Every structure is written in C-alpha cells, then in structure tokens.
C-alpha cells in the first residue's frame, strides 16, 4: 500500500538510517538510544498544513513524534505538525 495524499495537519517524512555511533572513548551507542530530537526530510505536506513547511524541508522533531507507515519496501513516517520544533537551514 502507498499513501497518495496526506490529510490534515500531518507530514509524511523520511528518516535517515540510524546506525550505531561510537564515542571517542570507544563506547558503542545503539540506534535505539537515539537522541531526543532528530532531523527528517518532508516528502508530503497535509491538506491543512500552513505555508511554513514545504516538501523538501529538513525539520527537527521529537524522538517519539513518529508514526511508522510501511509501503513498497520503504519505511516512511507520519508526523503531526505540533511535534515539529522548527525548519532547519
């Protein structure tokens, strides 16, 4: 299944793959312990979203603001605009 149009004040976003990180001291931090905020790319904008966010924007969101949507062997996420901290440059 594929989302053809996002409804309401939601955004369809793509999250970069998160791998393990290694600190300077050699500690390995798994992807499951990701930072509280992350930057994602907007793929579609919902029908009720104001002009402040556009397709292609990089936005900062909270760690738990994502809802998984799977389709065509790809993983995408829906985000409510209230979970967006800001647009990145």
The full set of domains in the chain, from first to last, is 10-88 (2.30.33.40)
Alpha-carbon span 37 to 39, nearest angstrom: 7
pLDDT band at 48 (very low <50, low <70, confident <90, very high): very high
Q: Specify burial of residue 19 (Cβ count, 10 A radius: 0-12, 13-18, 19+).
A: exposed
Distance, CA of 25 to CA of 87 (rounded, Å): 33
Structure confidence at residue 62 (pLDDT): 82
In this prediction, residue 19 has a pLDDT band, given cuts at 50, 70 and 90, of: low
């Amino acid at each position: 299944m594929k989302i053809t149009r996002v409804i309401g004040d939601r955004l369809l976003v793509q999250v970069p793959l998160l791998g393990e990180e290694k600190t300077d001291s050699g500690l390995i931090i798994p992807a499951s312990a990701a930072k509280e905020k992350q930057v994602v790319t907007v793929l579609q904008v919902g029908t009720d979203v104001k002009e402040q966010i556009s397709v292609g924007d990089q936005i900062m969101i909270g760690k738990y603001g994502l809802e998984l949507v799977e389709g065509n062997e790809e993983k995408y996420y829906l985000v409510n605009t209230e979970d967006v901290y800001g647009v990145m440059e």
